[in-house]
Amino acid sequence: MLSNRHRTASNARRARTRPPAPRRATVHADTVSGVRPPAITTTQLHPLTDREQNQRLYAYEQRVRSAFDAIVPTLKRVEAIQQKDGFEPMAQAIVQQSLGFELPNETLAEAMAGGFDMRKLFAWAMFETYQRFSDDFFSGNNLIDDQTFQSFLIDCGFHTMDVSPCADGRLAHVISYVLRLPYREVRRKSYAGAMFDIENSVEKWTETEFLRFREGRPNHADEATRYLKTVVYHFSSSDPDHQGCAAHGSDTNKAAQAGLDRLHAFQQAVENTFCCGASIDLLLIGLDTDTDTIRVHVSAEDGTIDLRNYIDSSYVYLETMNMNAAQAASVLEARVRDHSEGATEGMIKLVSRLITNNLSQLDYVNEFNNRRYADIGHAERFIGAGIGFEEIQLRNLTYFAYMNTVEEATADLDVGVKIFTGLNVTHGLPIPVVIRFDYHGHVPGARDRAEANCKRVADALRARYSELAQDGLLHTLLAIRDCAAGETIEVLESSVFAKSIAGAH
Amino acid sequence: MLSNRHRTASNARRARTRPPAPRRATVHADTVSGVRPPAITTTQLHPLTDREQNQRLYAYEQRVRSAFDAIVPTLKRVEAIQQKDGFEPMAQAIVQQSLGFELPNETLAEAMAGGFDMRKLFAWAMFETYQRFSDDFFSGNNLIDDQTFQSFLIDCGFHTMDVSPCADGRLAHVISYVLRLPYREVRRKSYAGAMFDIENSVEKWTETEFLRFREGRPNHADEATRYLKTVVYHFSSSDPDHQGCAAHGSDTNKAAQAGLDRLHAFQQAVENTFCCGASIDLLLIGLDTDTDTIRVHVSAEDGTIDLRNYIDSSYVYLETMNMNAAQAASVLEARVRDHSEGATEGMIKLVSRLITNNLSQLDYVNEFNNRRYADIGHAERFIGAGIGFEEIQLRNLTYFAYMNTVEEATADLDVGVKIFTGLNVTHGLPIPVVIRFDYHGHVPGARDRAEANCKRVADALRARYSELAQDGLLHTLLAIRDCAAGETIEVLESSVFAKSIAGAH
């Protein structure tokens, strides 16, 4: 691999043979962390921004977020009138108007008898809101309607794009918002610190290549395309020492290095397990969770990635913001090329598209979040534990704990419970945990196994956090989903008002 | 599927057109259970028995079993002399002579100080013996040296034979002894009640077919062979209501039906998940754990299996025992054919080979176990928990609990602990648990993950059975193995005399 010194010299040599680019756009940090990118202060949109898409994505985010945000104020209003005459119809009217559904009558009866249980009602309303949001998503929300992506990807030399972001809720929108990719065409599997499971990835690779050989899906095995594995690590430009990746001690260099190591381990696993030139392609992306700026470390054709060499979307934004669209696209591609020594043309094309897509997101954050998210720290609404959650495409809504067993996921779950102790428990509110297992309905017995998994995990969770559970400070919703059929979720049971939930759907 | 009545009539019609066979050899039970097969009382070996193989397998079994069996008497001898002068050298001489290794000096010092700890010493000696036995196995024991099996299997139309026996220790010898197959050429994965994991099996099928497409291993994908999935359920002819399969309430019909249902579920999973005629072939075998007689339910080409139709190896034995080898082989194949309506010629060939192989085992049990095992119930020496244990090819040595997590395997582990409470704890001896995870050394990080798995499972076991562990009645040995390199096991640590074990190897 070229040293940074060598690479910089090489870039300098090339720079002499072409018109000099504005320095601020090609200069990048010497190390991954440490330099805060320039703020984008314009009120005008970037020429490559998809204004209509931004509006649509914002409307969706607002709709979902406001539904969750309305829960506490609404319940407080109900609590305030619990001693009044005509409480029950008044309360139902308030809840119906603000949240779009009614509370179970038994809870209002309890409240009138002086037993207003905010914990139970909060959990119930959270789960009800979650289910409505989930149903809405699976009833046909495309978010990014890009039907050309699959063929574009193949043209770039990749038949599959598999992305492992960190499980942190601040990255949950990375596919649909930050990178603006159609979620159905990209495999996403999140892990704490983006430390994805090598064995599981080799299995997925095997299945993918098998389908190419056997069924020509998505393309035939004799086409020279590869499986592209992408890791998204993250950092905070505002507060790098505290709001970065918890799994890597908020150390950006460590997060990047660990992501790179894991990518190479996966590549080596494929190469060592199979013969005849079996391999994968790699991509490493860093995300500033305060601004959604990305830095892309482009891999050379031989898989080498230099952590100190990356293209930063905010620099590209600033350099190209006053150009027309065609000029901007051309300069953008040139900047990607500057940082892509040894990369294939396909990789350059793909990275150019990702950077382009991200420019829209930079404007999104500028326009709707005043350039920098107000919630730069954790502000998730619930924990999602299990396998699934395709519908979670929004930032800071869900703390993910992808898992089969509590036994294997204790570290992730403990972190989640700690975060929610700060967010909810200290305010007297319970931790809502959605336990979810997706299954393939065409496999006999798969639904029963998913149901058994839900119940096993719920039991293990209650055993591990028994004090919280006993105090009504940890509530669970159990749901499964036939992901092969693309259906909505099926709620099995809940620790709050089991009958009401089960009866309602 | 033909009804039994119809099939019997059809057999009767065919019988008219050929010389009548002795009735006792073709008659079979109307249902799977209920009829005790005839006892084989001859002292002469069957003409198709492999006498030399029997002798070799017996020598191996004796060597291993006597090493385990010597532990308790030897330790009792040591205990008896603990107050004598010159105790330490005398004790070491006794142990060295009987067990082939020395006890850790610290334990003898403890004994001399009046603290002879039989529990600790028993666990230590068990683990030491297990490790010696395991090392011996992986240093080159073939047991069945059949280098033609792979090509024979392909000739029969199967590129892989995948066998799921019940995890009961009385079936642990099914590959090398009962069916006399080379263990390296057959995939074995045991599950309680033979209830194998469908999702895991589909993954294995995918990997197998992928290797055929990509690397032509073991044969090319365009050769019309199939993956053969075999289930071995079991029953006890001596005490069918108590010594059958615990997972199915010692009900032979239930055990057979559940095995068949699982086979069909796997077949359907493959057919529904992949297109273009993807499927597997099926075989269902019942094992009488008292005598090692097998009953083979041959599947028709379309996958149908009639539970009431099977060929019983003890009937074939009796019909052919007085023939010469050529005659016996010919009659055996004819009997297989009688029970194989709709089966392929390859399937008939394979089943004929399995029945032939099993004749040697019937003589083995006759000769060395007086026709019927003395230990018809559980008599395992230790629990094997985790992934691996290829070296366990002997009957009633190990209670298997194949598993990733204690959380998922609680049912199996509880049964194992219950069995060993009867076998060991009631006699003041601890339950020895070998926790083992095999890994693929060419996959980066795999060894570390195997080690972490061992420790996680050991912690979870100690937590679940904390009283036993605290009383020194549950001891663990943690071991991993690079199965890709075919190496011996690597012992990580033990709950007894951690330093001695770790230092010794």
pLDDT band at B36 (very low <50, low <70, confident <90, very high): low
Provide, as residue numbers in chain B, all residues whose Cβ is less than 8 Å from the Cβ of A446.
198-199
Contacts of B198 in chain A (CB under 8 A): 443-446, 449
Sign of CA dihedral B376, B381, B383, B389: negative
Closest by Cβ to B213, choosing from A213, A408, A446: A213
Of A198, A406, A443, the CB nearest to B273: A443
Percent of chain A with pLDDT over 70: 90
Contact A209 B210 (CB under 8 A): yes
Chain B residues with CB-CB distance to A211 below 8 A: 274
> Mean pLDDT over residues A298-313, rounded?
95
Instruction: Give the residue, A29 or B372, on which the prediction is more confident.
Output: B372
Structure confidence by residue, pLDDT tens digits, A488-503:
999 999 998 754 443 3
Q: In this complex, which of B209, B274, B442 lies closest to A273 when CB atoms are compared?
A: B442
Do B209 and A207 make contact, defined as CB atoms within 8 angstroms?
Answer: no
Residues of chain A in contact with residue B278, where contact means CB-CB under 8 angstroms, are 214
Domain with CATH 3.40.1050 in chain A: 146-369
CB nearest B206 (choices: A198, A207, A445): A207
**What is the pLDDT, as a whole number, of residue B334?**
98
Min Cα separation B444/chain A (Å) = 5
Name the phi and psi angles at B114, rounded to 5. Answer: 90, 10
Of residues B202, B264, B443, nearest to A272 (C-beta): B443
**B355 vs chain A: nearest CA distance in angstroms?**
32
Given a cut of 60, is residue B504 above it in pLDDT? no
Sort strands B226-235 and B281-288 into parallel, antiparallel or unpaired. parallel
Reported ipTM: 0.88
Residue A36 carries which side chain, given as an amino acid letter? R
Model confidence over A275-290: pLDDT tens digits? 989 999 999 999 999 9
Tally C-beta pairs within 8 A across A and B: 104
CB contact under 8 A, A278 and B198: no
The one-character DSSP state at B495 is S
Residue A213 contacts B where some CB pair is shorter than 8 Å: yes
CB contact under 8 A, A275 and B215: yes
| Chain B contact probe: residue of A405, A447, A453 with most B CBs at under 10 A | A405
What is the rounded average pLDDT of the residues A389-409?
Answer: 95
Contact B272 A442 (CB under 8 A): yes
Instruction: Find out whether the peptide bond into B444 is cis, omega within 30 degrees of 0.
Output: no
Q: What is the mean pLDDT of residues A460-464?
A: 96
CB-CB: which of A206, A268, A440 is closest to B444? A268
Alpha carbons A461 and A471: distance in angstroms, whole number: 14
CATH number, span A146-369: 3.40.1050
CB B417 within 8 A of CB B466: no
- Whose tokens are 């609990």? That residue is B401
Question: In chain A, what residues touch B207 (CB-CB under 8 Å)?
Answer: 203, 206, 210
Residue A76, pLDDT above cutoff 90:
yes
- Residues with Cβ within 8 Å of B63's Cβ and at least 6 positions away in sequence, in order, are none
Spatial distance between the Cα atoms of B191 and B202, rounded to a whole number of angstroms: 16
Is residue A354 within 8 Å of residue A40, measured between CB atoms?
Answer: no
> What is the per-residue pLDDT for A41?
61
Cβ-based neighbours of A183, under 8 Å, separated by 6 or more: A143, A144, A175, A176, A390, A393
pLDDT beyond 80 at B114: no
List of residues 6+ apart from A148 with CB closer than 8 A = none
How near does any CA of chain A get to the CA of B342, in Å? Answer: 25
Q: Does the pLDDT value for residue A244 go beyond 80?
A: yes
Give the H/E segment covering residue A439: strand A431-439
Please choose, from the candidates B51, B53, B47, the residue with its C-alpha nearest in 3D space to the C-alpha of residue B332. Answer: B47
| B445 touching chain A per CB within 8 A | yes
Considering chain B, tell me which residue range(s) the CATH 3.30.1330.140 domain(s) occupy: 376-504
Mean pLDDT estimate for chain A: 90
B404 contacts A273? CB cut-off 8 A: no
CA of A261: which chain B residue's CA is closest?
Answer: B444
Smallest Cα distance from B299 to chain A, Å: 20
Secondary structure (3-state) at B284: strand
Chain A residues touching residue B440 (CB < 8 angstroms): 273
Highest mean pLDDT among A2-11, B32-41, B272-281: B272-281
Per-residue pLDDT, B116: 83
B221 with A202: Cβ contact below 8 A: no
Facing residues of A476 across strands? A433
Q: Residue B235: phi, psi to the nearest 5? A: -155, 170
Provide the CATH topology of domain A376-504.
Answer: 60s Ribosomal Protein L30; Chain: A; (3.30.1330)
Higher pLDDT, A8 or B222: B222
Tokens (6 digits) for A412: 């992730």
The full DSSP string for B361-384 is: HHHHHHHHHTTS-S--S---SEEE
Tokens representing B294? Answer: 């097998």
Q: What is the pLDDT of residue B140?
A: 81
Beta strands in B210-293 (DSSP E): 226-235, 281-288
pLDDT for A233 beyond 60: yes
Task: Give the pLDDT of residue A141.
Answer: 74
Q: What is the pLDDT, as a whole number, of residue A6?
A: 38
Tokens linked to A123? 């959990």
What residue type is assigned to position B130 of the chain? Y
What's the pLDDT tens digit per position in B70-88? 999 999 999 999 888 889 9
Are B203 and A199 inside 8 Å of each other by CB? no
Q: Which amino acid is at A132?
A: R
β-sheet bridge partners, residue B288 = B235
Shortest CA gap B116–chain A (Å): 36
Res B28: pLDDT? 42
Distance CA B106, CA B218 (A): 52
Which residues of chain A lie closer than 8 angstroms to B405, CB-CB?
Answer: 404-405, 407-408
Scan for tokens 């074990």, then name that residue: B501
Q: Is B198 on the interface with A (CB under 8 A)?
A: yes
Q: Does B18 touch chain A (CB under 8 A)?
A: no
CB A438 within 8 A of CB A388: yes
Catalytic site positions of B = 168
* A351-410 residues touching B, CB cutoff 8 A: 404-408
Cβ distance A408 to B440 less than 8 Å, yes or no, reads: no
Rounded to a whole number of angstroms, the distance between the first and last alpha carbons of chain A is 58
* A407, A413, A447, A454: best to mutate for the B interface, most B CBs within 10 A: A407
The string of pLDDT tens digits covering residues B277-310 is: 999 999 999 999 999 999 999 999 989 999 999 9
CB contact under 8 A, A276 and B404: no
Residue of A nearest to B452 (CA): A408
Tell the burial category of B224 from Cβ atoms under 10 Å away from its Cβ (0-12, 13-18, 19+): exposed
Q: Bridge partners of A135?
A: none
Chain centroid to CA B58:
16
3-class DSSP state of B187:
strand
The pLDDT score that the predictor gives to residue A39 is: 65
| Predicted confidence (pLDDT) per residue in B188-241, tens digit | 999 999 999 999 999 999 999 999 999 999 999 999 999 999 999 999 999 999
Q: Percent of chain B, pLDDT > 70?
A: 90
Nearest to A210 among B206, B275, B276 (CB): B206
Contact B215 A273 (CB under 8 A): no
- What's the rounded mean pLDDT across residues B386-411? 94
Query: Contact at 8 Å (CB) between B206 and B197?
Result: no
